[in-house]
A and B are shown apart, each in its own frame.
Chain A
Amino acid sequence: EPEVTQTPSHQVTQMGQEVILRCVPISNHLYFYWYRQILGQKVEFLVSFYNNEISEKSEIFDDQFSVERPDGSNFTLKIRSTKLEDSAMYFCASRYGRGETQYFGPGTRLLVL
């Protein structure tokens, strides 16, 4: 069964460093999403992406964040200068159409020291 994959599974970085989280959505899906979950808290929407552009972003998704679909298969989330409060689990998700079920990757656990 097709699945969404994410790499790395864990990343530890120093505050102020740039990180890139990678996702490979299901191949025929058209809508892509990033979410984050701070430990012990609820999942929060970060950004949605369709047709090579951001379609919606949350207040969390400030200028430190960017997304890209560089090659038609990968979908990346970049955090330019990480802060301690960026420590969280980051989930990528994709779906074929707007009325369709969303499929989630296993997550990348980011720890900023």
Chain B
Amino acid sequence: KNEVEQSPQNLTAQEGEFITINCSYSVGISALHWLQQHPGGGIVSLFMLSSGKKKHGRLIATINIQEKHSSLHITASHPRDSAVYICAVWAGNNRKLIWGLGTSLAVNP
């Protein structure tokens, strides 16, 4: 069983839709990353959070430490949001990043 599980694995949306991607983890963590991987392979960190909620533009990330669960929301989705979104957690000692499989998002115009 993976230590970091994401759902859904694949997601297709129409432009303008509200999107939610979920992440559950089974290990003790010091923080959680949401990252975006572009079709060319490049990886960009979107959020790092250890509690509560963070917002950046149309992206919102939440985490519930007690339930070991995080969500990434995209409001008013746009075709340029099409990418793989990856949840990754810093293991408790903060030395190792454990990655989920990613959610492949396609937003159609």
- A residues whose Cβ falls under 8 Å from a Cβ of B: 33, 35, 37, 42-45, 48, 55-56, 58, 89, 91, 98-104, 106-107, 109
B45, A98: Cβ atoms under 8 Å? no
A44-B99 contact in complex given A98-B94, A99-B31, A101-B48, C-beta closer than 8 Å: yes
Q: Which of B30, B86, B93, B97 contacts A102 (CB 8 A)?
A: B97
A107-B95 contact in complex given A42-B100, A42-B101, A102-B33, C-beta closer than 8 Å: no
Q: A-side binding surface: helix, strand, loop or mixed? A: strand
CB of A93 to closest CB in B, whole Å: 8
Q: Which of A33, A89, A106, A109 contacts B97 (CB 8 A)?
A: A33
Q: B-side binding surface: helix, strand, loop or mixed? A: strand
Q: In chain B, residues 71-108, which have Cβ atoms closer than 8 Å to a Cβ of chain A?
A: 86, 88, 93-102
Bound CA span A101–B43, Å: 12
Residues of B with C-beta under 8 A to A106: 41-42
A-B contact count (CB 8 A): 49
**Chain A residue nearest in CB terms to B97:** A45
- B residues whose Cβ falls under 8 Å from a Cβ of A: 30-31, 33, 41-45, 48, 86, 88, 93-102
A56, B99: Cβ atoms under 8 Å? no
Bound CA span A18–B44, Å: 29
A48, B96: Cβ atoms under 8 Å? yes
